[in-house]
Each structure stands twice: as C-alpha cells, then as structure tokens.
Structure 1
C-alpha cells in the first residue's frame, strides 16, 4: 500500500497518490472477485497454479498477483505467492471472518461514483436509496456486504451498554438490515427478544445472520417501510438506529427520533450509530467524504454533527444524551428517555 506523502511537504505528488488509490482499490476488487486469496489458501502457489484455478490466461493473473504483492495483500518468494496476515484472516472465502462481500460492495458503487460531477451539477441522485422501490431492490445486495463493517463495533457497544444497565428484555432494531447491532445485543443479553423493522426483501437476510449467530429463536420481524410503521408506545427497553438517519435527512430523522422515543419505556435507551463529523465539518475525512454518498444516492440524506443529534434528541424528549467510546473511528450516541 502506498504511504501517502504528508501534505505539508507535497506538491502534485499528493494529488497523484489520491488518484492512484483508485487503481489499488480495483486491484483488490479483482483479486477478491476472482477468489485469488481463497485459491492460494487452498494450495495454489505459483502464477500458473492460480491461473489454472481461476481458468484465466496467465498474463493478467501474474500481473494481478504481483500488484497484490505491491499493495501488501500477498507476499512473494522464489515465484511462489502466500497470503499476508490480513488477507489470510479476512479475504479467504472458507473462513467465518471473510469480508469479501464488503469489497464487492465497492464494485456495486463504482459506476455511480463516476457520475458524481453530474450529480452535483444537477442535484439529482443517481438512484435514490431513500425511495422505497429503489431501496427494496438494492438493499438486499448491500446488507450482506455491510455486516462485517459493523460487527466489531456492535459487539463492543453491546458490552459497554449492557454493563451500564443489563435490564434489556425487548429490543427494537429499526432498518435492521443484517441485524448486526441487535444480534450483538441478543448474544450478550440472553433474556432479550428482538423486533426488527425492514423491507420484506431484507428480512430473510436478517434471519440468516440471526441463525448463524445462534439467536434466531428470539427474533420477530415487522416488514414494511419504516416511515409507515407504528412502533407502538412504551414497549421497548432499547431501540437501535444503525446507519439509517444519514439516508433520511433532517426532517425524517427528527420524526424517527420522536417515534423511537414514544416506543421506549421510561428509562429506555436509544442507540445511534452514524458517521459523525466535527461540528465545524473540517474532519474526520471519512464522514465528510461519505456525505458525498448521500448526495449520490439520496434526495435529502447527509451526515450530521454531534451538536445536531443532541439538539434533536432533547427536542424529541430524551433527558440524557451521551456517547460511547469504542474501538471505532467515531463514538456511538446513547440517549435515555
């Protein structure tokens, strides 16, 4: 992987390195798509053996393998290729820790990102995720890819939140997707029963992940558009909003916070996972760049600051708003009714 030059010392080199990153990403996507890492794990060592396993001409395969060495996903000695520790852990299809779907997600988004200039000029998203028809069609393919991105954070969040208060018997997971957040809580709160809310096209994947992690017998599902569903009143000890407010935009997000407040019992808590920039929107880079995803894929979506979340949550009726610091680039928000 290219070590980026500090910007204070750079001229055009800084720009070159940023642009070059797109090539490296495509190399990684191709290696994952062709199962290069899995073939090497299963015993293919030379370029010829990997090419045979893939069923492709050796010229492109050998250059791909060398490129993967260059960006440190493979090692090479005497013409034989081996996996780096990172690739061995995360890019072998045979392993439970496989995150290849996450890499594949980038291919799904690649063409859309090439339209960013035009989207900014026109203000029209390429395919609005916040539109129900589009969401029902696209989200099932994205859900599987997103699970590994949040699993570590979800487990850490559950541990911290339940240590503070383990009286959690009913959990509401709104826009549950894979169920990554509620699965983590269900594993660590054996008395808890989970109700998920998501499109009917997504629920089978939620069940699949819940079964894989041994909690499917404690999951119930409400299918439909979260904007139309009544969550009930004072029914839950914990509600979860995992990366959904960003697609909803300010007005719908505030409505959703009010619905969650109503659904929680007194003393109940709302967990919010989002990419949160600084109040002055000068960093960190990830949420600021991710805001461009919202421009590309939604009509009203955005990333919101901690000050905005605090204001909205207090207005919705939550009496305490705090953050949970876990091993993640940004903290989680925890609000108490």
Structure 2
C-alpha cells in the first residue's frame, strides 16, 4: 500500500493531527455519548435548519449544560456545524449516527475494548491480554466468550459477524467450485459458515472444530434449524499440539480465525491441517490483511483492531500483513494456489492452499 510509504502532511497539519490523537479517547466518548443519548438523532431530525442548544436539551431531556458541552465537542470533532446558534450534522455526524459499519466498530471498541485498553502497555510488556481482567480471569477472551455479559457478547459477535456475513455468500462458490464436499470448519464459532455451507448444497457435510463453549452455542442453533445430520462437532483446544485434526475431509476452512494466534501458532495449526488432508485436499483461509485493502481507512481499522488482540484477546496476535501469513503457510508445507482479494465490504482475502509438491519450489503469488 502506498498510503504508508510517505509523510505527506505539513508541519502544521502534523501538529493538528497529534492533538487529535492526544484527545482521541475524549472524542470517542463524546461521540458515543451523543449516539446513545439521542442528541445526534435530535440534531438530524432538525434537518438543514438546525437546532439550538436549548431546543436540543429539551428534546433529549439533557441539561442545558450537558447538551452544550457535547454539541461544542461535536464541532471540534467535525460531527456538527453551527450557523446562527443552530447546530446541524455534517457528513461525519451522519455516519456516526446512521452507518452500520461505524456503529458496529464503535460498540465493539466502547463495550469490549475501551476499559481494558488502559492496560495495553502491560500487555505489550508481558505478552498477555492484561486488559481482559476487566471481564474475568481467563487466559484468553475465547475461553470466556460464552460467559461474558450479554451486552458485551452482543457487541463482540456483531463486530465479528459484520465483517464475515457480507463475505460468506461471495466466498461460498469460490470454495465449492474446487469440488470439496466434506470440510472442517476450524473456529466455527456460532456456526454461521457451517450453516451457510449446508444451505448452499445438499451434499456438503461440515465438521465444526472449536472450544467446547463455542461448540455448545453453535450446536443449539444448528439443532434448532434441523441441520444436525449435515453438521458435526469436534470440541477441541486448537492450541494443544497433541490434538491432531480428524482425517477423512477434503477441505479445511478457517475464517477470521488464524489472526487469533501468533506466527508460531499459525504455523503449528497449518502443519496439522497439512497432516490431516490427503494429497488432493484444500485449505481455505479467509482473512482481512491490512496491506491488501483498497482504502487507507480500512487498513487503519485493521491496524487498530490488532491492539484489541494485544490487550484483550490473547496478547500475541493481530490483523496481519499478508507477507507474514504467507511465510507461515510456506513453513507449514503448504502453497497458495490462488489469492482472491477485496471480497465484500470487509475487504477479505481468500487464500486457497494445497500441499507443496516435493519437487516444487514455493513462490509467493
């Protein structure tokens, strides 16, 4: 990406940007508060004529002081403009209020990450998700995911699913045009991919592999849909290298899964995928790589999401640069047969991998 190869700001612009970073937590909390207390909605409903502080306070039930400090903060963050004491939304304010992607991101950061990110420095020092203790004493968030408060779970799953949901329908034909029929879904979570596969074609069988807590959540949903004969379950701790993957499948699928692990752990998982497959099997990896994005804002979002993994999830993973991932694939004895970028709004990349041939020299595509 060329976005990160040059410093294009003037000194004044750079200093202004530094101040925005310095006050970033305040900006976030002000925007989140205006989203949730109805202030942005009240301003939008006033239309182009705008609304006074007094009228906005009355409409939302806020004090005059509360409406005033938030609306003035809205000016500074670029969400509002004011003319003749009447405030109205900018395009930024509109997206803060009405854009589903922005809502998912803000709820995830506010509900799941915000408090724990205060321990980012300790997480970096110790290689552990020190911020996770705000929710419980688990080694990673995945062991505790089924035990989180419902509102926190909702924000976590909404974030996770928003990015995958738009890409799954596009990826399905790419996967099954290879001819695979019996696949393992590693990190199957709530079963969305497995269900999509079973509904895509009647002759496809999926085995979900995940931690017991996640498997139980997926099992309830799949049983309610009457798909238990098409979807099997294999509870396992993927990080336990003694746990080999079941054989007899012609494909292994991992969506937004391997980014939950360190480089070495990714290589270990992929080696076990290699061992489990026969010579004609496929490994399908769907990931968001920050260097494969069309827009700088998308890359920025992924780079910042990496710090959720550092402080909250496990302390040692991230949203990866694709070059790091490709090295793991090569070290696991696999090769990339095809790379498909820019899948869906989430900007996913699908890597279709096969076993390396003994006589073949690996070249990255």
Query: So what's the TM-score if we normalise by structure 2?
Result: 0.65
1:95 is aligned to none
Contact 1:288/1:303 (<8 A) preserved: yes
Please, which moves more after superposition, 113-122 or 240-249?
Answer: 113-122
Displacement of 1:257 in angstroms is 0.6
- How many residues align? The count is 315
Task: Please point out which of 108, 116, 139 is paired with 1:105.
Answer: 108
1:300 aligns with 2:316: yes
1:133-152 matches, within 5 Å, as 134-138=141-145, 141=153, 142-152=156-166
Q: RCO greater where, 1 or 2, for CA within 8 Å and sep 6 or more?
A: 2
In our comparison, the structure showing a higher alpha carbon Rg is 2
The answer (yes or no) to whether the contact 2:338–2:351 under 8 Å persists in 1 is: yes
CA distance in 2, matches of 1:67, 1:208: 45
Q: Structure 1 residue 223 and structure 2 residue 235: aligned?
A: yes
Query: What is the aligned partner in structure 2 of residue 234 from structure 1?
Result: 248
Contact 2:274 2:333 in 1 (8 A): yes
Question: Tell me, what secondary structure is at the counterpart of 2:21?
Answer: helix
Tell me, in whole angstroms, the C-alpha distance in 2 between the residues paired with 1:329 and 1:18. 26
Aligned counterparts of 2:174 and 2:76: Cα–Cα separation in 1: 39
Gaps of 5+ in 1: 92-98
- TM-score normalised to structure 1 length: 0.70
Aligned-residue Cα RMSD (Å) equals: 4.5
Partner of 2:339, secondary structure, is: strand
Give distance in 1, aligned partners of 2:63 and 2:43.
17
Alpha-carbon separation, structure 2, partners of 1:68 and 1:183: 43
Is this contact kept in 1: 2:39–2:60, CA < 8 A? no
Cα separation, 1, equivalents of 2:74 and 2:205:
44
* Pairs within 5 Å for 1:109-258: 109-121=113-125, 123-127=127-131, 134-138=141-145, 141=153, 142-162=156-176, 164-165=177-178, 167-203=179-215, 205-206=217-218, 216-217=227-228, 218-228=230-240, 229-235=243-249, 237-258=250-271
User: CA 1:72–1:196 in 2, change beyond 3 Å: closer, same or farther?
Assistant: farther
The residue correspondences of 1:42-81 to structure 2 (distance < 5 A) are 47=56, 51=60, 60=66, 64=70
Q: CA deviation at 1:220?
A: 3.0
Give yes or no for contact 1:174–1:240 (8 Å, CA) kept in 2: yes
1:90 equivalent in alignment to 2:76? no
Q: Against the structure 1 CA distance between its residues 287 and 41, is the aligned structure 2 distance closer, same or farther, given a 3 Å change threshold? A: closer
Match in the other structure for 1:336:
354
Asked if the contact 1:72/1:84 (under 8 Å) is kept, the reply is: no
Q: Is the 8 A contact 1:323 1:332 kept in 2?
A: yes
The 3 A distance-change label for structure 1 pair 71 and 320 is same
Structure 1 distance, partners of 2:220, 2:35, is 23
